[in-house]
Amino acid sequence: MEFRTLSQWTLLVVGALAVFVPIKSLSASPIVYVADLQNDFGTLNLSTGAFSQLGTLNLPAGDYIYGMGFGANGNLYGLDSDVPANLWQINPANADATEVGTIDQGAAGATADAAGTLFALSQDLSANFYTQAPPSTTTNVIAATGYSAAGLAAVTPDGSAFYATVQSDTSPYDDLASVNVSTGAVTDIGSTGYTPDAGLFVDGTLYGFDTTSNAIVTLNTTTGAGTYVATYDTPDGQNIVAAATPVAVPEPTGIVALAFGGVALLRRRGVKKARVAQ
């Protein structure tokens, strides 16, 4: 009879168990921070639409976060629905919001690149395209776009391409448009087939959050067309109005990791008119 050492038996047992670990458990679903029109704040699974509440944003009554992103210092910041908007620092752990100061623009949508620069569109009929480097409240207006912003604002991680939704004159759905980050020039790409009110890039894919059907959609940056992914389940069915990519997306762990010696013990459609300064 052949005898094996304890370490050999451990590898055999772990290896046998690893066979039964589902392949899909080895890849994480995209998870992002979101805020809705009831100031519910939490994480959202983009694959399933499952929302996990972390807290309630302590903003003044009738005030909401209309866009957010992580700054260069690693803190999460958001611009609210006031005109002019206020800049808030948000604690991702418990939704505690601290007012930083007031800027000189409104915000119909805002997002941040990997370097921590906020890119935003104002609530004017001809929305101003501007940038900001929180915690500074100083804005850099690049240009008036000639379009009314519909809510979605998303920038690629390297800050080279910015996309937004604009209200269509011929369709009940919003169009996806690209905005030149240097000049503010707008190119209308095409109808999304939805009414997305917030958005962001995750792993090279542009996601949006529809306000009519509460759908998570992916948006084709060449045609504008939206594709349904899942329905999000925020409390009371409130629309998602801001989203941000977390600093780190947790990865699932399991028995396979142990086999290699690892130790791993996770629209505003109803108020859309309020975005346009009267």
The CA radius of gyration of the chain, in Å to the nearest whole number, is: 21
Q: Please confirm whether the linkage preceding 84 is cis (ω < 30° from 0).
A: yes
Q: How far is CA 258 from the centre of its chain?
A: 33
Confidence of residue 31 (pLDDT cuts 50, 70, 90): confident
Residues forming beta bridges with residue 111, ordered by sequence position: 119
For residues 232, 238, 249, 16, the Cα torsion angle rounded to the nearest 10 degrees is: -40
For residues 277 and 133, give the distance between their C-alpha atoms in angstroms, rounded to a whole number. 24
Domain boundary assignment for the chain? 6-159+236-275
Q: Please confirm whether the linkage preceding 30 is cis (ω < 30° from 0).
A: no
The pLDDT tens digits of the residues spanning 137-162 come to 999 999 999 999 999 999 999 999 99
Triad 158, 164, 169: Cα angle to 5°: 160
The pLDDT tens digits of the residues spanning 75-131 come to 999 999 999 999 999 999 999 999 999 999 999 999 999 999 999 999 999 999 999
For residues 121 and 108, give the distance between their C-alpha atoms in angstroms, rounded to a whole number. 6
Quote the pLDDT of residue 118.
Answer: 97
Confidence of residue 265 (pLDDT cuts 50, 70, 90): very low
The string over 197-213, giving b where at least 16 C-beta atoms fall within 10 Å of a residue's C-beta and e elsewhere, is bbbbbbeeebbbbbbee
Confidence of residue 236 (pLDDT cuts 50, 70, 90): confident
Residues 6+ positions from 150 with CB-CB distance below 8 Å: 108, 164, 165, 166, 167, 174, 195, 196, 197, 267, 272
pTM of the model: 0.80
The pLDDT tens digits of the residues spanning 198-207 come to 999 999 999 9
Triad 34, 240, 48: Cα angle to 5°: 70
Quote the pLDDT of residue 105.
Answer: 97
For residues 119 and 88, give the distance between their C-alpha atoms in angstroms, rounded to a whole number. 15
Triad 72, 73, 74: Cα angle to 5°: 90
CATH topology of domain 6-159+236-275: Thrombin, subunit H (2.40.10)
Closest CA to 67 of 25, 117, 21: 117
